[in-house]
């Protein structure tokens, strides 16, 4: 923790490097990234395949270790934590939405939503729970198991689960990657609503310009470096930027 940490930044990364392998076989996935994610903002990370966007998210979320640099989530420097501390941090401060396989097949939708709280041994805020359930529109489906839900419904359950513990930041990894465009739009507007109404911070990795257009800001990666960013993007501006990057 340093004195210069900006409290309005939910997540910051400085000089972030990640190298896989050694010697000749070394792959430099991240080559020194400086980035901050503002509290209460919806940020999308984009970039061509192999640009390091997923690696960046994994490192930011404490799922993967870094080779150099430091990451702060709130006032905690997560790059200094051990596995156990990281686990507890994820429990308390981070929510996840993955592309697929977000839910435990043995649990009902409601049990899945409450799972992070149960793991942390915390009580659910009933008001928040009701509000989240209303927003997601899953009241009738709470008793269903994942196999009885559609893909879009499953992702909405996953988002609800991420929201319920009021995390400092939610990381979403291609949350609409497996969905048709209508279900995808539902999930994305729901993510944006939770930023507006619940003041949630969301960082989303995606390769879909339409999905990115729901964000407040898009950052672009290429070859492990942050190359540019867009505020208040539209699908068209995102697409244009990507085209330039690929060229």
Partner 1 sequence: MFKTTLAGLLAHKLRLLLTSLAITLGVGFIAGTFVLTDTIDAGFAQKFTADAAKISVAVLPKGDDADRQQEPILTTGDLAKVRGVKGVADAQGIVQGTAPLIGKNGKVAGSRATSGISITEGALNRTVITKGSAPAAATEAVLDKDTAKTREFAIGDTITVLDSKQVKHQFTLVGVFDVGVNQELSFTGAVGFTADTALRMTGAKGFREIDVRGGDDVSPEDLRASVTAALGSGYTVKTGTQLADDLAAENNMDTSFIRMGLLLFGVIAMLVAALVIYNTFNILVAQRTREMALLRCIGATKKQIFGSILLESVVVGVLSSVLGLLIGLGLGAAALAVLGAVDAPIPTGVGVSLSPQTIVVGLVVGIIVTVAAALLPARAATRVAPIAALRSQVEESTFRAGVLRIVFGALFLLAGAAVTAKGAAGEPGQDALLTVMAGGCVFFLGVLVLAPLIVKPLSAFVGWLPARLFGVPGKLAVDNSRRNPKRAATTTVALTIGVTLMTLISVVTTTTRATVSEQLNKQFPVDYMIGTQQHDSSIPRTVAAELRSKPEFGAVVVVRETEARVNGKSVSVGAFTVDPEFKVTPVKGSMKDFGPGTAAVTSWTAKDLGVTIGDTVKAAGKDYRVVALLSDQSSPVYGVNLTEQDFDAAFPRVMDKQILIKVKDGVATDTSRRIVEAATEPYPSVLVESAAETRGAFDEALDMMTMIITGLLGLAVLISLLGIANTLSLSVHERTRESALLRALGLTRPQLRRMLSIEALVLGLIGALVGVALGVTFGWAATQTMVSDVIFRAPVLQILGFVALSGVAGVVAALLPARRAANASIVGSLASS
Give min distance, CB of 87 to partner 1, in A. Answer: 5
User: Would you say 38 or 100 has its CB closer to partner 1?
Assistant: 100
Give min distance, CB of 186 to partner 1, in A. Answer: 20
Chain Cα centroid distance, residue 231 = 18
Number of residues that bind partner 1 (CB under 8 A): 28
User: Would you say 58 or 222 has its CB closer to partner 1?
Assistant: 58
**Residues of this chain, 58-117, that bind partner 1 according to CB under 8 A:** 58, 61, 63-64, 83-84, 87-88, 90-92, 96, 98, 100-102, 104-107, 115-116
Dist. CA 17–CA 67, nearest whole Å = 5
Characterize the bridge pairing of strands 42-46 and 68-73.
Answer: unpaired
User: Would you say 26 or 104 has its CB closer to partner 1?
Assistant: 104
Q: Which of 140-161 are b and which e, b meaning 16 or more Cβ less than 10 Å from the residue's Cβ?
A: ebeebebeebeebbbbbbbbbb
Is the separation of the CB atoms in 175 and 159 below 8 Å?
yes
Give min distance, CB of 96 to partner 1, in A. Answer: 5
Give min distance, CB of 235 to partner 1, in A. Answer: 26
User: Would you say 35 or 59 has its CB closer to partner 1?
Assistant: 59
Dist. CA 113–CA 206, nearest whole Å = 23
198 lies in the binding site for partner 1 (CB under 8 A): no
Give min distance, CB of 23 to partner 1, in A. Answer: 21
Candidates 99, 174, 109, 176; CA nearest to 139 is 109
Residues whose CB falls within 8 Å of the CB of residue 245, separated by 6 or more in sequence, listed in order: 47, 48, 220, 222, 227, 228
Binding pattern to partner 1, positions 147-186, x when CB under 8 A? x------------------------------x--------
Half-sphere exposure of residue 3: CA atoms within 13 angstroms, side-chain side: 0
User: Would you say 6 or 118 has its CB closer to partner 1?
Assistant: 118
User: Would you say 20 or 231 has its CB closer to partner 1?
Assistant: 20
Dist. CA 5–CA 189, nearest whole Å = 31
Which residues are near partner 1 by CB under 8 A?
58, 61, 63-64, 83-84, 87-88, 90-92, 96, 98, 100-102, 104-107, 115-116, 118-121, 147, 178
């Amino acid at each position: 923790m340093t004195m210069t940490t900006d409290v309005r930044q939910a997540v910051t990364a400085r000089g972030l490097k990640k190298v896989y392998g050694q010697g000749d076989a070394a792959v430099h996935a991240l080559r020194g990234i400086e980035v901050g994610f503002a509290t209460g903002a919806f940020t999308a990370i984009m970039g061509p395949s192999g640009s390091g966007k997923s690696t960046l998210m994994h490192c930011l979320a404490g799922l993967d270790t870094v080779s150099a640099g430091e990451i702060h989530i709130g006032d905690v420097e997560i790059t200094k934590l051990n596995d156990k501390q990281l686990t507890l941090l994820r429990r308390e401060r981070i929510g996840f939405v993955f592309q697929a396989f977000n839910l435990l097949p043995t649990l009902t939708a409601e049990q899945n939503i409450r799972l992070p709280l149960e793991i942390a041994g915390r009580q659910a805020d009933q008001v928040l729970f009701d509000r989240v359930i209303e927003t997601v529109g899953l009241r009738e489906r709470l008793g269903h198991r994942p196999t009885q839900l559609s893909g879009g419904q499953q992702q909405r359950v996953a988002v609800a689960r991420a929201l319920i513990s009021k995390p400092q930041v939610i990381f979403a990894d291609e949350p609409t990657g497996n969905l048709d465009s209508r279900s995808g739009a539902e999930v994305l507007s729901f993510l944006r609503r939770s930023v507006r109404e619940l003041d949630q911070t969301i960082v989303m990795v995606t390769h879909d310009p339409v999905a990115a257009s729901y964000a407040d800001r898009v950052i672009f990666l290429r070859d492990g470096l942050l190359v540019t960013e867009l505020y208040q993007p539209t699908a068209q501006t995102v697409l244009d930027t990507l085209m330039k990057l690929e060229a």
